[in-house]
Amino acid sequence: MHDFHTLMIEHDRLDKLALELLDVVAGEPDPISALAIRADLSVTLDDHLSKEDGFLYDRLLGDAEQDCYPARVREFHSCFAALAADWKDYLHLWDNECVAADWAGFVGETVEMLERLRARIKAENDLLYPMALQKNHIRLRAAA
């Protein structure tokens, strides 16, 4: 079973990487650093989602007949599916050549994408994880 503490640590890591990338794109053009951080962020995000998507939404949506949460969970899941698709498109569109050729365009789309990702992390921290904890779908801490 997953635990709140570990999931929050993963979210902190994702947020830290997003902030690092935002810091790089706020400065002088540096495609090499930006792409390296983005690659780390992408791998970290994929790893986190492989854990989260399989348990969090399925279990919370499974409570549909017990409470009013599933409507909110469905909304979150739908919004996140759109974000995940947009993230994949962003990664595909902004390859090494495109980033080097259009730094300003890359910066604009990166800032927008990372704002959405960070808002998503905050929403999960504020609503979904506490809900999952309350419903015993995750532990507070890892089992000893």
Q: Which two tokens stand for residue 2?
A: 């997953």
Cα–Cα dist 113/58, whole Å: 25
* Rounded Cα gap, residues 110 and 27, in angstroms: 13
pLDDT tens-digit readout, 85-99: 999 999 999 999 999
* Residue 65 pLDDT > 60: no
| 3-state helix/strand/coil string of 27-53 | CCCCHHHHHHHHHHHHHHHHHHHHHHH
Residues 21-52 pLDDT 10s: 999 999 999 999 999 999 999 999 999 888 77
Predicted pLDDT of residue 17: 99
Spatial separation of the C-alpha atoms in residues 81 and 73, rounded to whole Å = 12
